[in-house]
Structure 1
Amino acid sequence: MTNVLLLSIDSLRRDFLGAYADEPSCVDYAVETPNLDRFAERAAVFDTHYAGSLPCMPARREWHTGVKEFLWRSWGPIEPYDDHLARVARDDGVLTQLLTDHFHYFQHGAHGYYEDYTGFEFLRGHEYDAWQTAPKQPDDRLLDQTLDRETDPTDGVGYVNRSVYARNAARLGVEDDERNAFAPRLFSRTAEWLRANREWDRWFCYVDSFDVHEPFHCPEPYASMYTDEDPRDPELDIWPYYGRIDEGQSALAERQLAFVRSQFAGKVTMADRWFGRVLDALDDAELWDDTAVIVTSDHGFLLGEHGWVGKNEAPVYDVLARTPLLIWHPEGAHNGDRIESLTAAVDLYATVLDLLGIDESAADRVHSRSLHLLLAGDADAENLHSHRDRALYGYWGSAVNVTDGEYAYLQPCDPAVPSRCHSTTMMNARGFPLPATPKHDAEAGEFVAHADGPVWRFEADSYAQLDGPMLFDVTDEIPKTNLAEERPGECDRLRDELVAGLDALNAPDHQYARLTLEQPP
């Protein structure tokens, strides 16, 4: 039984961390992460850890509820049938705290995530956070660096509008003092919380940093750390649009792409520096002996790999899906070692309950498997399949992907076959800031195996992230070649693994038709 500090750093790529320095990177310079490296030397470093439901809020539902959400629904709320992590812990006498600047928790359709914590703090102003309405005309240079003036409205009345960020940044003075930037504010507050609450017998603190998410707006010295460009040149973008780098609104010339990479790297180093304040607080308060510390990310971010920038529209390459995971356990058998075993994001739910000493019955009916046996040395950490044989991941309504830790197989969907959304609300299946609307074709029933009551089920469009099957050898130094035509036997094997994975999760029947797969009897 320990305290637990769970810290997620949004969009953090493995190859930008010293702990994964042996992996190939899209940049030819070393990104400075001395504090994350310091923590990695203390912690168990997981080498084969995969995301599950993408992107932001679906990933957080996996951590909070242990449900692999993307097979049933998209971006939405905590459900009444969920055993929310903070509530289960609180009901067991654990002090629970959420510290975040991740504004999506507070938008339409995201209710239920923060209410069950004993306490929560929301630091305002990141990305599209609907916070400041003045100045009416934000800084022209910052607008030039964050939006396409030909297609983006600049009057600021739109709910999702990039000029909102320019107003928020002006209010905070982000460029003038790095202490006003988002990761510094959040990690400083985390250090304060750790020192102030060290006398509690048992606590769970979840710190959710929206950095290093775009916009890649860095104060100095980080803005100039990895580039010779003038970071305030209005012709250089700090907020790329998602899509192909060679066409449309997302097109980036080589100079622009190099600059975006440098600003992403700058944000990583800035987050790392202030993460060091958290480590200092753990030192000062002498918390290491009774506190487990978990550091991870929801997904990566494409910076030109495979011809893409961003996420969502692109196939879910390993750059997006294979995420960092570092865990310090006070009694861990593998502290300072590597763990090769295949693990999944959804496993953090049962792991936190286990570390807190809570009966894992809450995890029995969902999809999470505690990592305790790996951490304690009771499972073979060098055996790729000692924890999981496979991991499924993807975006709701699109392709479904599977890895066995050696290959990653991406199965396309038929976009002409609609997907089905399952929820106790008539949630908006397409578009995160929008409220639920009546669905006149919805039907109610017990369609979800891990729910303990009826839900609404209604149709929404599928969308294609890829034209055909894709297969990658993820043990290659650079898994960039689609091997689907070259290795049909491996495609067949991984397709069978995908079907077995869907069956084991009691996935909805329509998924097989949508994915053009034969459903097991």
Structure 2
Amino acid sequence: MKAIVLLLDSVNRHYLSAYGASGIATPNLDRLAEKSAIFTNHWSGSLPCMPARRDMMTGRLGFLERNWGPIEPFDHTLPQILRDNGVFSHIATDHYHYFRVGGENYCQQFDTWDFIRGQELDSWVSRVSQPEKPEQIGKFMPQYALNRTQFHSEEDYSSPKTIQSALNWLEDNREEDNYLLWVEAFDPHEPFDLPDSELDDYEDDYEGPSYYWPEYGQVNVPDDALKHIRKRYAALLTMTDRSVGKLLDVMDRRGMWDDTLLIFTSDHGYLLGEHDFMAKNIMPAYNEIAHIPLMVHLPGSKHAGKRIDALTQNIDVFPTLLEHFGVDISCARNKLHGKSWLPLIRGEAAAIRDCALYGYFGKNVNVTDGEYTYFRASSQEDNSPINLYTAMPTTIGHYYGLNHIIDPSRIEIGPFLKWTDFPVYKIPGDNVQMKDQTQSFHVNSTFIREHLLFHNIDDYGQNHPIHDKEAEQRMLELLRKALEDHDSPDEQYLRLGLE
């Protein structure tokens, strides 16, 4: 048995032809869609990048317990279980967060890994003197300015090199069986950097200052720059799609469609001016961010073209792969929140959950039943009570150490989590630095202080909150049940006013 997971970061579902988009060239993802079951009601879980990956590798939602962080020592991961059952795993990635503080132990779960350098703030090109900011708008990051000096043609960029790394691995292992190949490209995540020629097909006529890296927050650029950055995103998605095509070509040549499961999804989407916001993280987790693509190809192209409306999430990657490889789910030491997609594809089940729960640690907790979506904000002005539980006190780019104004006397240690007896640090939420190094926002942002209810069918763009007490009460009950099912710490009920 063979399986490939193709994970592209920040793919907007509404930019893909398989989900009704037009004007965006993704011919190779279209090819994949023709050979796959297409899931129409697929949702993120923990947000953003690294929390989403921990979800996938553990089969559990983590955002109720902690923020961006590493694989914990008590996590029983998918690659571990596969290895114990005779299945080899390899990851090819340019997602540099795996190799920063706060991203420990992910790639090391796999039997082997290949890391392609140069994305975003990857400490790759080394110069003592830092470059000066040129005339441009948006973010300027000196390290990336150095990295991009090495990008001259499409083949030099790190995501195309990542796909090529995966192809090299397939060539080296062309006679092998019983493996999982995890192919993970950072693009089309920002910065939306690519050869200028890639913009030709999108008739870009922008003449303003250089703009390839949006700032997170409310839109703060002129209309022509906003139009330009949308075209840069689309062009980068098209360039990434071209690399995906090389992977599909290999599957064509070797007849791998007959014996390989292939999963394509993303971790989250990305706002490009919708709701007057750019990017993610500081605003509610609107559909553009949380409603993501999923295509699953079964060996032999069984059920190709089938559209599945059942609610699914990325925590389901784990049990789906276990079932594909014939590994009993009882091998997982920790209770899984995910459910296999295979019964849905085969028509043996109409649903695997009655709602999808998703969000960021310490922010709104969001729930959808497919028809309605409810954003539940903290009921407390100070966003309390909230605790961070971890056995590895690191987060994006730094440790929770003395240099980050933390009071050690307020930290407790003990078996505080409901689902594991492993002792963890219990750190009060107001005792940790909740900002990363590049984004000056706090978890208690003014943009996420309201409870919001939307009707997904009548208002998919979520532009018109509704006031329906009966529907809100029903979503509250779903939320309470979902918190219980996902082993939520008790203080979340208090924080959300659900006690």
TM-score by length of 1: 0.88
- Counterpart CA distance in 2 for 1:472 and 1:362 is 39
Which residue of structure 2 aligns with residue 8 of structure 1? 7
Paired residues in the alignment total 478
Other structure's SS at 2:409 match: coil
Instruction: Give the residue type in structure 2 aligned to 1:168.
Output: N
Which residue of structure 2 aligns with residue 17 of structure 1? 16
Moved more, 284-293 or 397-406: 284-293
* 1:289-328 deviation line (CA, Å, top 9, x unaligned): 1110000000000011111111000110010000000000
Q: CA deviation at 1:147?
A: 3.0
> Which aligned pairs between 1:404-443 and structure 2 lie closer than 5 A?
404-413=369-378, 414-416=380-382, 417-428=384-395, 432-437=396-401, 439-443=408-412
Instruction: Give the residue type in structure 2 aligned to 1:496.
Output: E
1:467 aligns with 2:449: yes
1:147 aligns with 2:139: yes
TM-score by length of 2: 0.92
Which residue of structure 1 aligns with residue 465 of structure 2? 483
Distance 1:135 1:506, change over 3 A: closer
Contact 2:455 2:466 in 1 (8 A): no
> Which aligned pairs between 1:397-408 and structure 2 lie closer than 5 A?
397-408=362-373
- Counterpart CA distance in 1 for 2:478 and 2:39 is 22
Which residue of structure 2 aligns with residue 151 of structure 1? none
> Which aligned pairs between 1:77-476 and structure 2 lie closer than 5 A?
77-134=70-127, 136-138=129-131, 141=134, 144=136, 147=139, 162-170=141-149, 172=150, 174=151, 176-230=152-206, 235-245=209-219, 251-330=220-299, 333-363=302-332, 365-380=335-350, 386-413=351-378, 414-416=380-382, 417-428=384-395, 432-437=396-401, 439-461=408-430, 462-464=443-445, 465-476=447-458
Contact 1:401 1:408 in 2 (8 A): yes
* 1:188-234 deviation line (CA, Å, top 9, x unaligned): 2222222221212210011111100000111143233324325xx56
Q: CA deviation at 1:8?
A: 0.6
- Counterpart CA distance in 1 for 2:392 and 2:164 is 37
Other structure's SS at 1:278 match: helix
Contact 2:36 2:306 in 1 (8 A): yes
Other structure's SS at 1:147 match: coil
Q: 1:66 aligns with which of 45, 53, 59?
A: 59
Contact 2:36 2:305 in 1 (8 A): yes
Distance 1:315 1:451, change over 3 A: same
Contact 2:65 2:389 in 1 (8 A): yes
- Counterpart CA distance in 2 for 1:415 and 1:275 is 46
Contact 2:51 2:69 in 1 (8 A): yes
- Counterpart CA distance in 2 for 1:110 and 1:65 is 15
Q: CA deviation at 1:274?
A: 0.9
- Counterpart CA distance in 2 for 1:59 and 1:124 is 21
Q: CA deviation at 1:435?
A: 2.0
Q: CA deviation at 1:454?
A: 1.9
* 1:394-414 deviation line (CA, Å, top 9, x unaligned): 000111000001111000113
* 1:137-188 deviation line (CA, Å, top 9, x unaligned): 54865x735536xxxxxxxxxxxxx111110010x2x2x3111122211112
Moved more, 81-90 or 395-404: 81-90
Q: CA deviation at 1:14?
A: 0.7
Other structure's SS at 1:87 match: helix
Q: CA deviation at 1:54?
A: 0.1
Q: CA deviation at 1:45?
A: 0.4
Q: CA deviation at 1:452?
A: 3.5
Unaligned runs of 5+ in 1: 23-28, 149-161, 246-250, 381-385
Other structure's SS at 1:121 match: strand
- Counterpart CA distance in 1 for 2:325 and 2:265 is 18
- Counterpart CA distance in 1 for 2:381 and 2:97 is 28
1:514 aligns with 2:495: yes
Distance 1:419 1:224, change over 3 A: farther
Distance 1:313 1:424, change over 3 A: same
1:38 aligns with 2:65: no
* 1:445-473 deviation line (CA, Å, top 9, x unaligned): 22212223221111113514422111111
Q: CA deviation at 1:425?
A: 2.3
Contact 1:334 1:377 in 2 (8 A): no
RMSD of aligned alpha carbons: 1.8
Other structure's SS at 2:311 match: strand
- Counterpart CA distance in 2 for 1:9 and 1:377 is 28
Other structure's SS at 2:110 match: coil
Moved more, 103-112 or 456-465: 456-465
Instruction: Give the residue type in structure 2 aligned to 1:166.
Output: A
Moved more, 361-370 or 371-380: 361-370
- Counterpart CA distance in 1 for 2:417 and 2:60 is 11
Other structure's SS at 2:450 match: coil
> Percent identity among equivalent residues?
37
Instruction: Give the residue type in structure 1 aligned to 2:451.
Output: P
* 1:352-390 deviation line (CA, Å, top 9, x unaligned): 11112212114461211111211222123xxxxx11101
Which residue of structure 2 aligns with residue 153 of structure 1? none
Q: CA deviation at 1:332?
A: 6.3
- Counterpart CA distance in 1 for 2:193 and 2:177 is 39
Q: CA deviation at 1:505?
A: 1.7
Contact 2:65 2:488 in 1 (8 A): yes
Instruction: Give the residue type in structure 1 aligned to 2:143.
Output: V
* 1:247-281 deviation line (CA, Å, top 9, x unaligned): xxxx1211111111000000000000110000011
- Counterpart CA distance in 1 for 2:419 and 2:296 is 28
Moved more, 262-271 or 220-229: 220-229
Instruction: Give the residue type in structure 1 aligned to 2:457.
Output: T
Contact 1:101 1:210 in 2 (8 A): yes
Other structure's SS at 2:7 match: strand
Unaligned runs of 5+ in 2: 403-407, 431-442
Contact 1:236 1:256 in 2 (8 A): no
Distance 1:352 1:10, change over 3 A: same
Q: CA deviation at 1:236?
A: 3.7
Distance 1:415 1:178, change over 3 A: farther
Instruction: Give the residue type in structure 1 aligned to 2:39.
Output: F
Q: CA deviation at 1:38?
A: 0.5
Distance 1:332 1:494, change over 3 A: farther
Other structure's SS at 1:346 match: helix
